[in-house]
C-alpha cells in the first residue's frame, strides 16, 4: 500500500451499486440497469489502465446474490458470458489480465467454462489486473482460508501463522490490499466485501448510481484519495 501524498492508488476496489435503482427510475427492468452498468465498467477499466493503476477489483456477484429472483440471476450470468465474448479482444489489446476472486465451482457450467477460457487467454497480460469478485463473500473467503490451513496438517505452519502467511490462503494471494475503495449509489457499508483486505483501505462513497459513474466521477474520487494522508495506525 502506498502512502505517498499525491499518488494514484496501486489497487482500486469498487462496489458497483445502484444498477437496479437506475433502471427503476427509468421504468425499465432491473437487467437493463445491469447492462448499463457493464458500459460504465468498460470505461473505468480503460481509464484505470491508462492511469497506470495496476489492480482493479470489482464486486460483480456476491454469495448472497443467489437469493435474488431467478430471472435476474440468470440475466447476470448471461451478461458475464456476453461481456467476455464482446470484450476479450479489448482486454488483450489493453493488456488486461483477468482474475477471479470467489468460488467458481458453483457457477453454471457454461459460465464457468467461459470464465476459465478468458483466464487462460489473458494470463500473459501485464498492464492491469482486473479482479472480478464472482460468487464472492468476505466471510466465506476467511472460513475457506482457515479450512485450507487446517487441511495442510502442518503444525509448524499453524504455530508460525501470522498475517502474511494467512494472506497467502486468500483469493487475493500475491495481490496487494486495496488502497482505495469506491462505493456508488449512496449506500455506506462494505457488504461482506474483502473483509480482511480492507483493514487500512481509504473509503469513498458517492450518491451516483453505478451506470452514471463515468470517467469524470472516477477522477473526482481519485483526487480525493490523492489528497489524503495515510497513517496506517501511526501518528
Of the residues 17, 140, 177, 179, only one is catalytic, namely 17
- Per-position b or e across 107-143, b if 16+ CB within 10 A of its CB: beeebbebbeebeebbeebeebbbbbbbbbbbebbee
Active site residue 131: no
| Grid cell listed for 97 | 489480465
In the numeric block, the cell 468476505 is attached to 138
Q: How far apart are CA 134 and CA 156, in angstroms?
A: 33
Look up residue 106 and give its DSSP letter: G
Of the residues 3, 65, 78, 192, only one is catalytic, namely 65
The three-point CA angle 169-175-180 to 5° equals 120
DSSP helix/strand/coil, 199: coil
Active site residue 17: yes
The catalytic residue positions are 17, 65
Amino acid at each position: 500500500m502506498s502512502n505517498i501524498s499525491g499518488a494514484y492508488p496501486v489497487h482500486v476496489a469498487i462496489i458497483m451499486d445502484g444498477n437496479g435503482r437506475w433502471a427503476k427510475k427509468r421504468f425499465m427492468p432491473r437487467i437493463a440497469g445491469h447492462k448499463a452498468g457493464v458500459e460504465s465498467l468498460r470505461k473505468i477499466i480503460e481509464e484505470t489502465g491508462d492511469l497506470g493503476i495496476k489492480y482493479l477489483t470489482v464486486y460483480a456477484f456476491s454469495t448472497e446474490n443467489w437469493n435474488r429472483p431467478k430471472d435476474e440471476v440468470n440475466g447476470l450470468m448471461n451478461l458475464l458470458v456476453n461481456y467476455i465474448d464482446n470484450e476479450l479482444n479489448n482486454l488483450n489489446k489493453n493488456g488486461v489480465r483477468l482474475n477471479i476472486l470467489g468460488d467458481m465451482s458453483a457457477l453454471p457450467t457454461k459460465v464457468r467454462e467461459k470464465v476459465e477460457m478468458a483466464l487462460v487467454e489473458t494470463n500473459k497480460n501485464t498492464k492491469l489486473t482486473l479482479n472480478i469478485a464472482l460468487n464472492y463473500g468476505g466471510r466465506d473467503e476467511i472460513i475457506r482460508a482457515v479450512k485450507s490451513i487446517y487441511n495442510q496438517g502442518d503444525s509448524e505452519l499453524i504455530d508460525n501463522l501470522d498475517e502474511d502467511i494467512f494472506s497467502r490462503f486468500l483469493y487475493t494471494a500475491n495481490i496487494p490490499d486495496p488502497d482505495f475503495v469506491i462505493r456508488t449509489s449512496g449506500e455506506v457499508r462494505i457488504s461482506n466485501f474483502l473483509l480482511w483486505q480492507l483493514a487500512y483501505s481509504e473509503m469513498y462513497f458517492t450518491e451516483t448510481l453505478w451506470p452514471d459513474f463515468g470517467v469524470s466521477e472516477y477522477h473526482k474520487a481519485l483526487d480525493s484519495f490523492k489528497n489524503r494522508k495515510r497513517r496506517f495506525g501511526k501518528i
